[in-house]
Amino acid sequence: MDYHIEELLSEETVNARVGELAKQINKDYAGKELHLIIILKGSMFFASELARQLTVPVTMDFMSVSSYGDGMVSAGEITVKKELDEEISGKNVLIVEDIVDSGRTLYYLKRLLLARNPESLKLITLLDKPDCRVVEIEPDYCGFEIPDRFVVGYGLDYAQKHRNLPYVGVIIQD
Ligand code: IMP
Ligand code: MG
């Protein structure tokens, strides 16, 4: 497929919004410790930008789940490819995602992690495509709601490419 990429959210726009989210989280978790569960690979840039602006004590762990393979359409199946290293029981957990599309990934993850008895469990996503929702799930914090388009950059990929773009762009088929 021949395609090009058009900028949707500039680097400055994204970084400014991540700063606002960090401020809100610092307020909401004041006096508490926060355990970030960073969902690889898409949320790595978002998570590092966010985490550097958190002033509450933070610990981090990583998990990798897959739902898409290399295509642009959700397969509706999710597998855990990398498990967490640490227990989450008794912790204030914040799942850090890049994007919520059908919602299946977060729906599944939330159920899986709630069963491990965290003190609290919330979800943050950089991007949300609410029009694409198939299961009922609402992120607690969201950077931007975007239309039903396939986006790349700021960690997000198309067939593992373009994660390193500093902005969020839309894939346009030529
Ligand atoms: P969901 O389970 O359908 O909500 O899919 C969420 C996952 O699909 C995200 O964590 C992304 O990895 C991937 N995904 C969904 N939409 C996009 C997109 O527009 N660009 C890149 N990856 C996407
Ligand atoms: Mg993802």
Q: For the segment 84-140, what is each residue's pLDDT rounded down to a tens digit?
A: 999 999 999 999 999 999 998 999 899 899 999 999 999 999 999 999 999 999 999
Burial 6-39 (b: 16+ CB within 10 A, else e): eebbeeeebeebbeebbeebeeebeeeebbbbbb
> Measured from the CB, is residue 102 less than 6 Å from ligand 1?
yes
Instruction: Look at residue 79 in the predicted model and tell me its pLDDT.
Output: 84
What gap in Å lies between CA 119 and CA 104, rounded to an integer?
23
21-69, pLDDT tens digit by residue?
A: 999 999 999 999 999 999 999 999 999 999 999 999 999 999 999 875 5
Mean pLDDT, the chain, rounded, equals 94
Q: Given ligand 1 and candidates 40, 45, 101, which is best to mutate, with the most ligand atoms within 8 Å of its CB?
A: 101
State the pairing for strand pair 151-152/92-100: unpaired
Q: Which residue's entry shows tokens 């004041």?
A: 30
Cα separation, 129 vs 27, whole angstroms: 26
Which ligand 1 atom minimizes the distance to the CA of 108? 2
Neighbours of 99 (CB within 10 A): 25
Read off the pTM.
Answer: 0.94
* pLDDT tops 80 at residue 74: no
